A and B are shown apart, each in its own frame.
Chain A
């Protein structure tokens, strides 16, 4: 029924996006559990029509919302309500695509299935780290599918993960307001930064939760309830505080800039010094994820896509303005 579909679209939230290994397709997952595959190459080409901005295929992936997605070189892994499923990129455009496998990490509680908020690939170990509602980080070996480790430490559910390549260490940020660093080899917590305890960046009226993390080996930027802050990891000190009032939900390093997005329409571009370089408005009232297509195989599809509290994915071909929007 048209009214019902219109209402669904109005209330859609796109939680996660991911680019295919060939760089030509973008997958987006929404709160109804659907995944849509858009063809970036078609939408960016010179003969793009209105239909190119619609998904090539949309399928029901999960029963609950699809909170996060990552891609290996052949698979798309999506996670939402308690389990992670894998799809073959080569098959995903065909109708009636079925998942390749699905796994559920061993949960303690059985009353409510905890969600999986973040997925992280560790290429050196060929494993996947899942973190979410049950406050643990689970590691799953991609070859065998077994869950090798469970890292405890957070007191409230985990929002985001980041990988520190050199060590290798995993950073996790959670609802309890702490950013914890874990060493994968010893499976132990190495460092804890409780952001809300630092007066410069804490914002009690927003809460203490850490919504987003990004790391560049020595440096880490995190945001959420507290202000968006750049940290020096070894000394655990906040070096730059970005003056953004709205809580940020996604942050990433890009070249010499920091891109962040969250409550509010705009994608913010920050200099490392803390100055706001640009604020580019998008079409959704709030943004939840940013995705940079840096796949070497498709240089013509090098775009920044942003999605959040609407059924639209904004495509920025040039960081200065929004070129167009793909929509579910």
Chain B
């Protein structure tokens, strides 16, 4: 309230400056009458220290007065009342002073507070300003750092290197003189150049795109054209068929064959491909004629393609089959229960089933005889078999002893040494056989064909003995590597067999057919004659008493052919047992001799018989004759006759026996005996025509 009042009075009152201190007491009584009396100003004038002293004095005075009053009161008296009254008035005055002082103190206090408050407010305002400014500073600093860290996008662009830039950019962009010094300008220039380049490239890209569109359209057009061509070509092919036949260029036929070939099982396919390729290669090598398929080797596929396709029926058909077969089985078990054997038989037939397609190969030899080979594939056993047949240009009259030579069963036996084709080459088959009770494939080869090893190789099937594989797949390279040798061997085999065939016909009539180019091996006159030539069985051969050595040496197996020849002169009879290896004529026939003349002489008891055998068996290379040495057997037989002549004529005369020698010596010999074993001169020397020792 005081502050309000002082505020009201402040602007009106001017008189307060310079008023003395004692005047104050008086004015305090008259203050209320409208005189503007500013105690605030008084407060400013008065010294607070003095006021304090005054306060203390006043309090002391009061205390004194009070004490006096006290005294007076206590003493009592009349003047006391006046003194007391006096003192009371003084003390009232003192009380008034005190009140004033109190008011002044309050005002001072209020002023002080106001000043403080003001100052505080000012300070607060400054403080706020400071804070604001500080915040702003911080903000600005942040902004500055942000600005400083700013990475402009232009730095992410890979600009070309400086050297390149200066080299490539046109001078109005690169402005070398300006930019060299100023990195900012330089960067700007580079960016400019970059932009320039990009624009150019974008231009190019657009051009290329449009080109590509054009070309694609062209391609489309051409494709359309070509696809419309196909049906026309087909019609041309059809039309050209008669021309092809006329010119012997069966392209269409070959094409059809290839179509069929797609249905062949893999080994037969490999065989087909390789043999066709080989046939064509051979034709090319003999190309003095226009290229046509080599007539000496022709390949064809036989069999039913539909059946082959039927092997790979889709599943729903087979389900039908199953249900059908179930119904059938119910019926059949009632009928078939007692006959397990028939079921087993069926299983066997199933196991040995052949693929419906087969490959036919015709090998033509020089003398117009043909070897027909038919190759089959046994599906469950994964092996191939072959059936062979030899046909000749002219009808052959088979001599009795030559029965086995060209028989389909044995004509291809042991084409490679040891490959007799009676056992299955696939070791896994044994387990399959055990299940259905087949002992060996030998029983079925007549029907199924022979599973020779070379047949497997031609079909690309390889059954390694050491590590049996789970699935053996057909391999073209295996087939190709064996093709040439096998074909050559087949041809030589057929030719040598045919040659033997002819020779046997002659031998059975007692004539040893010696060709003119082998005549030099023998003297002009040969007296001993071949009287018999028969074939004998393997068991008969092994039972002969003079063949034990050959049997022990393992040269008389059951794949060989055995013959007996009889050479006679006078009373002397020479039996010769011959082992003919299927690999004739690269493997020579082996002769074992037994002479019946003045006792029985064999290689056990007569060194000269041994020598004769050695002449024929060991020295066979001289008797081979011109390649392909089909004359070996006949030359050996002729030599045998010559040897018998020499033996008989050079036998020393027994003085104790009467009469002339049975065989006069007609052969010219230098010496009759030589060496510790007293050998006869069995070696014939051409052209001098005399006999000597080896």
Residues of A within 8 A of B (CB): 1, 3-4, 6-11, 13, 15, 64-65, 67, 111-112, 115, 117, 133, 157, 159-160, 175, 204-205, 207, 209, 211, 249, 263, 285-286, 288, 309
Give me 6 other A-B pairs in contact (C-beta within 8 A), A11-B613, A13-B610 excluded.
Answer: A3-B555, A6-B553, A6-B554, A13-B677, A111-B670, A207-B652
Tell yes or no: B587 within 8 A of A by CB: yes
- A9 and B694 CA atoms in complex are apart in Å by 17
- A204 and B693 CA atoms in complex are apart in Å by 25
Residues of A within 8 A of B587 (CB): 1, 3
Give the one of A159, A249, A285 with max B CB within 10 A.
A285
Q: Which 5 A-B pairs rank lowest in CB-CB distance, beginning with the nearest? A: A11-B614, A204-B656, A285-B604, A7-B617, A204-B655
Partner of B654, one of A133, A205, A286: A205
Residues of B within 8 A of A159 (CB): 676
- A117 and B610 CA atoms in complex are apart in Å by 20
A8-B618, A11-B617, A133-B674 in contact; A205/B692 too (CB < 8 A)? no
Contact call B553/A10, Cβ cutoff below 8 A: yes
- A271 and B652 CA atoms in complex are apart in Å by 33
What are 15 inter-chain pairs, A to B, with CB distance below 8 A? A3-B588, A10-B617, A15-B676, A67-B676, A117-B675, A133-B671, A133-B674, A157-B674, A204-B654, A205-B654, A205-B656, A205-B657, A209-B673, A209-B678, A288-B677
Residues of B within 8 A of A249 (CB): 676-677
Residues of B within 8 A of A13 (CB): 607, 610, 677
Contact call B550/A10, Cβ cutoff below 8 A: yes
Closest to A13 in B: B677
Contact call B671/A309, Cβ cutoff below 8 A: no
Contact call B675/A115, Cβ cutoff below 8 A: yes
What count of chain B residues pass the 8 Å CB interface test?
A: 34
A1-B587, A286-B607, A309-B607 in contact; A65/B673 too (CB < 8 A)? no
**CB proximity of B675 to chain A, nearest CB, Å:** 6
Closest to A118 in B: B676
Residues of B within 8 A of A (CB): 549-550, 553-555, 581, 587-588, 590, 603-605, 607, 610, 613-614, 617-618, 652, 654-657, 670-671, 673-678, 692-694
**CB proximity of A175 to chain B, nearest CB, Å:** 6
- A286 and B671 CA atoms in complex are apart in Å by 24
- A13 and B675 CA atoms in complex are apart in Å by 12
Contact call B555/A211, Cβ cutoff below 8 A: no
A13-B677, A67-B676, A288-B677 in contact; A3/B581 too (CB < 8 A)? yes
Contact call A175/B673, Cβ cutoff below 8 A: yes
- A64 and B692 CA atoms in complex are apart in Å by 13
Residues of B within 8 A of A309 (CB): 603, 607, 610, 677
Residues of A within 8 A of B588 (CB): 3-4, 7
Judged by DSSP, the binding face of B is loop
A3-B587, A117-B675, A309-B607 in contact; A11/B670 too (CB < 8 A)? no
Residues of A within 8 A of B692 (CB): 112
Residues of B within 8 A of A175 (CB): 673, 678
**CB proximity of B68 to chain A, nearest CB, Å:** 163
- A84 and B588 CA atoms in complex are apart in Å by 35
**CB proximity of A113 to chain B, nearest CB, Å:** 10
- A67 and B694 CA atoms in complex are apart in Å by 13
Residues of A within 8 A of B676 (CB): 15, 67, 117, 159-160, 211, 249, 288
- A11 and B679 CA atoms in complex are apart in Å by 14
Closest to A263 in B: B605
Contact call B670/A112, Cβ cutoff below 8 A: yes
Residues of B within 8 A of A211 (CB): 676, 678
- A8 and B549 CA atoms in complex are apart in Å by 12
- A10 and B550 CA atoms in complex are apart in Å by 8
- A21 and B617 CA atoms in complex are apart in Å by 38
- A204 and B657 CA atoms in complex are apart in Å by 9
**CB proximity of B30 to chain A, nearest CB, Å:** 163
A3-B555, A10-B549, A204-B656 in contact; A157/B673 too (CB < 8 A)? yes
**CB proximity of A286 to chain B, nearest CB, Å:** 7
- A111 and B671 CA atoms in complex are apart in Å by 11
**CB proximity of A209 to chain B, nearest CB, Å:** 7
- A285 and B675 CA atoms in complex are apart in Å by 18
**CB proximity of A303 to chain B, nearest CB, Å:** 22
- A52 and B189 CA atoms in complex are apart in Å by 98
Closest to B692 in A: A112
Closest to B602 in A: A285
Residues of A within 8 A of B618 (CB): 4, 7-8, 11
**CB proximity of A266 to chain B, nearest CB, Å:** 13
- A2 and B22 CA atoms in complex are apart in Å by 167
Contact call B673/A64, Cβ cutoff below 8 A: no
- A1 and B588 CA atoms in complex are apart in Å by 11
Residues of A within 8 A of B614 (CB): 11
Contact call A67/B655, Cβ cutoff below 8 A: no
- A112 and B672 CA atoms in complex are apart in Å by 13
- A211 and B654 CA atoms in complex are apart in Å by 18
Residues of A within 8 A of B656 (CB): 204-205
- A115 and B673 CA atoms in complex are apart in Å by 11
Contact call A67/B675, Cβ cutoff below 8 A: yes
**CB proximity of B586 to chain A, nearest CB, Å:** 8
Residues of B within 8 A of A115 (CB): 674-675
**CB proximity of B59 to chain A, nearest CB, Å:** 150
Contact call B677/A285, Cβ cutoff below 8 A: no
- A133 and B670 CA atoms in complex are apart in Å by 12
**CB proximity of B25 to chain A, nearest CB, Å:** 159
Residues of B within 8 A of A11 (CB): 610, 613-614, 617-618
Residues of B within 8 A of A160 (CB): 676
- A6 and B618 CA atoms in complex are apart in Å by 10
Closest to B652 in A: A207
Residues of B within 8 A of A3 (CB): 555, 581, 587-588, 590
Residues of A within 8 A of B603 (CB): 285, 309
**CB proximity of A44 to chain B, nearest CB, Å:** 26
Residues of A within 8 A of B550 (CB): 10
**CB proximity of B690 to chain A, nearest CB, Å:** 9
**CB proximity of B655 to chain A, nearest CB, Å:** 5
Residues of A within 8 A of B675 (CB): 15, 65, 67, 115, 117
Residues of A within 8 A of B655 (CB): 204
**CB proximity of B606 to chain A, nearest CB, Å:** 9
Give the one of B581, B590, B670, B673 with max A CB within 10 A.
B673
